[in-house]
Amino acid sequence: MVSTTEKDGATWYRCDECGLMFDAESDAQTHETNCDSDDDSPSYLQ
């Protein structure tokens, strides 16, 4: 999911899956949809 974070007086949107930060909520939500990849995690993480 996407979390909101206050930084330098601005609101950022953080992807809880990978930690990427976005300055636009729509960008974060679009990313998070594509980032929800529990089913195909890279094999090197296992």
Binding mask 11-40 for Zn ion (x = CB under 5 A): ----x-xx-x--------------x-----
Hey, which residues does 21 pair with through a beta bridge? 14
Q: For Zn ion, which is the closer residue by CB, 3 or 11? A: 3
Residue of 29, 23, 25 lying closest to 9 (CA atoms) = 23
In angstroms, give the least distance from the CB of 6 to Zn ion: 20
The SS3 of residue 21 is strand
Residue ranges that bind Zn ion, judged by CB under 5 A:
15, 17-18, 20, 35
